[in-house]
Amino acid sequence: MIEAIHPETLVMPIPEAEFAFHLAITQAQTLRPLLSPRKNRLPYLDSLGLLGITGGNPDNPHLAIDNLARENLSVLLPNYVPSAKIKWLFIEEFDQGLPFYPTSNYNWLGVFDPLDETSDIKRGKYTQTSALLMADPDSSTPPVGMITSLVDHRMIIFSNGQKPLLFSYDEINNQLIPWRTWRKHHDDFICVATLSKRIPELESHTNIGRLPIEYTHTFGGFGLLEMVSGKIDAMIDPLVGQPWYEAILWGFMAEKLGFVVTDARGRKHNFREYLKRAYEQNGKNMPRIPLVITKYPHIHEIILNAINAR
């Protein structure tokens, strides 16, 4: 029997980590009851008016539920600034084209995705997460942040150089239980997460299709949680690449989880430099960033060889 940990008794070493932790809990308490698997999820969300489109592009529109997710940040942030030295926080899909949230004159920069894979809600896919990553780009201080599943109880807290804290969070009883994980490699196939729209190009321009591949159609926080759980071996977007903020979130976190992270040619990324450049450019005119993330070096080599064989 594992003794439950109450969130209010969990001590975070620095204010930035405490802010990430409380944001993770708040997102879980607010959104998980709405998004967790249930037979009538879509009619339920429709009845609340949370699936209406409020902006964005046709491929990834903003929904009213995105606005609900962001409200948690506006409530929590004043309680942690200036004690949490957050200088700039980019919020994905911010309304009215405002791509960043200026907070204070300190040194931590961050990226916040309040509700990842929103578009999958209407497709009936249970892949939604919330994620935050913050780092000081001018120092070697380890980043802090969180990934919170909004469809089950998994949660990861990245806390200032400590080993990532893996919890199963019961929001009804407000309890955190250590998350027991397992890692295995599938001997007869490689389970690869990528966006479904990337698969035709991968199979026409690389030799990925010649590998014993089983695809999972996701890319982001849910994919990382599945990698930690042992259900996915790799998460890739090597040709088109991810928007800079997605790449920083998932790539930087994957490194801190001990995964292998490179571009399509096996070159390491400098996520601190990307974050600093994004701040200097207010998130504008940033190139897409190719990512190959794997749990094991030998799987990484196999995938890189398949990508570069042509």
What are the domain boundaries of the chain?
7-178, 190-307
pLDDT the model gives residue 62: 82
**Could you tell me the end-to-end alpha-carbon distance of the chain, in angstroms, rounded to an integer?**
53
pLDDT the model gives residue 78: 75
pLDDT the model gives residue 133: 94
What are the angstrom distances between the C-alpha of 262 and each of 121, 198, 241? Answer: 30, 18, 12
Please give the CATH topology (third level) of the domain spanning 190-307.
D-Maltodextrin-Binding Protein; domain 2 (3.40.190)
Enumerate residues 6+ apart whose C-beta is below 8 A from 284: 99
Enumerate residues 6+ apart whose C-beta is below 8 A from 170: 4, 153, 176, 177
pLDDT the model gives residue 61: 78
**Cα separation, 21 vs 17, whole angstroms:** 6
Tell me if the pTM is above 0.85. Answer: yes
Whether 190-307 and 7-178 are alike in CATH topology: the answer is: no
**Cα separation, 127 vs 223, whole angstroms:** 8
Average pLDDT per block of 10 residues along the chain, 310 residues long: 53 80 89 84 88 79 84 79 78 58 71 90 91 90 92 88 82 80 69 95 93 93 93 95 95 95 97 93 90 95 91
CA dihedral 262, 268, 273, 279 (to 10 degrees): 0
pLDDT the model gives residue 309: 82
CB 175 within 8 A of CB 274: no
Please tell me the CATH code under which domain 7-178 is placed. 3.30.540.10
pLDDT the model gives residue 215: 94
pLDDT the model gives residue 1: 26
Residue position matching structure tokens 């159609």: 217
CB-based contacts of 3-6 (< 8 A; 24+ apart in sequence): 4/170, 4/173, 4/175, 4/176, 4/177, 5/167, 5/175, 5/176, 5/177, 5/178, 6/174, 6/175, 6/176
